[in-house]
Structure 1
Amino acid sequence: MLLTLDPAAPEPLFEQLAAQLRAAIAAGELSAGDRLAPARDVAASLDINLHTVLRAYQELRDEGLVELRRGRGATVAARLDDDALRAAITTLVAESRRLGLDPRTTTALVKEALR
């Protein structure tokens, strides 16, 4: 999965990263039990601070999307509850608006992804 961040965007880098990972989970690109890349590797590949990645992972943990285990890294949570799904949908809608997509286009993209 390709992760890209925009330092010029108004959203902090950790929020951008968390939003991309949320979207990947919601789209099924990341499934329950999948391991996320080690935070050090993500930080190095994106040329950002390790703590930025850790903050994004912690935010996803707090939303119930990711489980963090010392020494084992981060994995996609086995059970996604309604609150986590609502958070992912909210992020999707916010990102769609930020990109200037109209609601019909966003809905069409979601329907296409569900097929």
Structure 2
Amino acid sequence: MLLTLDLNDPRPLHEQVAVAIRRAIEAGDIAPGDRLPPARDLAHALGVNANTVLRSLRDLRDEGLLEFRRGRGVSVLRRPDGRAALRTRARDLLDEAARYGLTAGDVVALITDLSEEMA
């Protein structure tokens, strides 16, 4: 599992870690039933504090994506539903567009243009 963080992202690190794990689940890199590496290992790989990773894992558990089992670690329960996954990605897209000075209307126009090209 390869997770990366954007050091220029203004969001708190625990949110970035949760987004990275959620994306890995959405993409199928981590499937339901798979166990995640220990929080300490994830923290080391990402260069963040283990408590940051634990907070992210708890947030994902609260969303119903992960399951904590004593003695067995953390495993993936299910994939996020498609609408929620797209909502998260759209929020990320709008955040990134704002960093480039683009508005939501600019993003909508871009998506409209792309969909017409693809049709």
Question: 2:5, 2:20 within 8 Å by CA — same for their partners in 1?
Answer: no
C-alpha offsets along residues 60-99 of structure 1, whole Å, 9 cap, x if unaligned?
Answer: 000000101122111110x45xxx4244332111122233
How many residue pairs align between the two structures? 103
Once the two structures are superposed, the pairs formed by residues 74-113 of structure 1 within 5 Å of their partners are 74-77=74-77, 79=78, 84-85=80-81, 86-100=83-97, 102=107, 104=111
2:23 is paired with a residue whose SS is helix
Q: What percentage of residue pairs aligned between the two structures are identical?
A: 50
TM-score by length of 2: 0.73
- Which shifted more, 43-52 or 54-63? 43-52
Q: CA deviation at 1:50?
A: 0.6
C-alpha offsets along residues 41-61 of structure 1, whole Å, 9 cap, x if unaligned?
Answer: 011112211100000000000
Which amino acid counterpart does residue 18 of structure 2 have in structure 1?
A
Which residue of the partner structure matches residue 103 of structure 2? none
Separation (CA, whole Å) in 2 of partners of 1:57 and 1:90: 20
Which amino acid counterpart does residue 48 of structure 2 have in structure 1?
I
Higher relative contact order (CA 8 A, sep 6+): 1
Root-mean-square deviation over aligned CA pairs: 2.4
Which residue of the partner structure matches residue 26 of structure 1? 26
Separation (CA, whole Å) in 2 of partners of 1:89 and 1:64: 17
TM-score by length of 1: 0.75
**After the TM superposition, which parts of structure 1 deviate over 4 Å for at least 4 consecutive aligned residues?**
none
Which amino acid counterpart does residue 23 of structure 1 have in structure 2?
R
Q: Larger C-alpha radius of gyration, 1 or 2?
A: 2
Which amino acid counterpart does residue 99 of structure 1 have in structure 2?
E
Which residue of the partner structure matches residue 113 of structure 1? none
Which amino acid counterpart does residue 71 of structure 2 have in structure 1?
G
Separation (CA, whole Å) in 1 of partners of 2:85 and 2:58: 15
1:67 is paired with a residue whose SS is strand
C-alpha offsets along residues 2-25 of structure 1, whole Å, 9 cap, x if unaligned?
Answer: 211234321111100101111121
Which amino acid counterpart does residue 93 of structure 2 have in structure 1?
S
Which amino acid counterpart does residue 88 of structure 1 have in structure 2?
A
